[in-house]
Structure formats: C-alpha cells, structure tokens
Amino acid sequence: MAYNPYNLEGKLALVTGAGTGIGRGVALELARQGADVVLHFAHSSQGALEAVEQIKAMGHRAHAVQADLRQVNECLRLVDEAAEFLGGLDGLVSNAGLTATIKFLDMTEERFDRIFNLNIRGEYFCAQQAVRHILKRGEELHRIHPDGTWTGGSIVNISSAHGAVGCANHTAYAGTKGAINAFSRTLAVELCPQHIRVNVIAPGTIEVPSYFTLDPDYSREEANKIVPWGRVGLPADVGYLAAYLLSDASEFMTGQVLYFDGGLTAKMALPIQPTEGERAS
C-alpha cells in the first residue's frame, strides 16, 4: 500500500477533556484515521467510556483515565498512564479546559485560580510530561528503523477565538487562552531541535452539549447567523484539523495558532455595514 502521510495508523495519542464536546470529537476522529487513543476525563465518565467502546469497535485500542488536571501531579500521572497503556506516545491534544463567563468585578481569587490552574497550568505540565515520552518514542522508532526518518511528535493545544478578540465578561478565560497561544509558540521554537512540533487550534463557535444545557434558548439556527460561513462548527470539524496536525502530513508546520471559526475573528464587528464605494479615509 502506498504511503499516506495523512494516515494515523500506528500513532499513539492522548486527548484530554475527551468525555464530551470537542475532546470527544477529536478522539473519535483520531481513531477513525487509525490511531490508538487514551481519553482523559474529569467528570464525564459516561461519555468517555462510550467513546472508548466506539473506538474499540473501529478496531483500535482505547482507554479512559480520570484526572484532575488542576493538580500538577495528576497531569504527570495521566500522561504516564497513557504512555504505559499505549506503549509510548506520539501526540497529545490538550483540550481540557473551563469556560467561564464572569463579570470582571465579580471575579474572585478562588474562581480565578480554578480557571488558570486548569486552562493553562494543566496544558503546560501535560505537555512537559508528554515531551519526555515522545522523545523516548522517537528513540525507540529509530532503534527499530535505524535507516528511517522520524517525522517527529506533535502537541496540539486547544485555545479559543477569545485569545484574539475581546468579549465582555471573559477576562480571566481570555487571559488563559492568550497564555496558551504565547506558551505554545515559544515551546514550538524550543522543541524544533528535538523534532516535536507544537501548534494551537483556536476554535470559534463550536456547538457542544453545554450550549443546550446552559442556555435553554440556544438554537443552532440562531447560532448559524453569527458565523460568516453560515453555520456553527461541530466537534467533528475540530477533529479533522487535529488529525491533520498529528499526522506526518503536518511535519513542516509548527508554532502556528490556527483560528478555526468560520471567519468569525476575521470579520470586522461594525453595528452597520458601510455602503459601497470609494471615500477619503
């Protein structure tokens, strides 16, 4: 069979926050493309276990691990358990995070710490431990195939459009997403010599189950009107991009923040659209 750089057959991946929403969509798509996957969850055990069974039905290995990624020791344990189950690690998709809509003057120290500890500290230390295992994986593949070329490992951090554009009542949340973007770009440069690439997916409006549970008035029809492309994104959409970033086809891409939002951050937000024609600026 001809080599397909988009194929994830034989890849070993960990996805955090994979019990629901974007993380679950990513984990399922990685498996569809051939990867064996460990799914992390904090509270969504049922969703994670159901996804594990779906992946096994595809003919791939899968396992679910619970961890509180606000705690550094839990980050390290999760990555170690994932690598032990899989027999190594080729890639990490860090999706676990907490969305918070809180007025600036209502933010408390406890809430602030909870948001930052999960959204940025969790991604940071999961990545740190993952790098150790990815380097070992590269050494093992070189030992098995001494004449082969290792295309490298891949870390994909999930950020948000909030890291680029302002939205009221999201100060702490947006701060974590901006931190993820900056941290990931710098890590990408640092890891180039080790041949581990680091990229960010920054989704815009991606419809997840919490949209319906937290807002009883939410409807896809109304949400579609917000997005220039004409529809909201779905977790599977993010999965397609994540699968590419974990594949050999993305071997030359690192240090990028990819705004995945149907044109949302590209659109100038004006209360009325200007009339056509030329005018002095």
Question: Is 159 part of the annotated catalytic residue set?
Answer: yes
d(CA 119, CA 107): 16
By C-alpha distance, which of 150, 239, 255 is closest to 192? Answer: 255
75 Cβ contact list (under 8 Å, min separation 6): 67, 69, 122, 125, 126, 129
Question: Is 247 part of the annotated catalytic residue set?
Answer: no
Pick the catalytic residue: 44, 94, 154, 159?
159
Sign of CA dihedral 139, 145, 147, 151: negative
Taking a C-beta distance cutoff of 8 angstroms, is the pair 53, 60 a contact? no
Question: Is 225 part of the annotated catalytic residue set?
Answer: no
d(CA 197, CA 154): 5
226 secondary structure, DSSP code:
T
Pick the catalytic residue: 11, 94, 177, 244?
177
d(CA 35, CA 1): 18
Pick the catalytic residue: 124, 173, 244, 259?
173
Question: Which sequence positions are flagged as catalytic?
Answer: 159-160, 173, 177
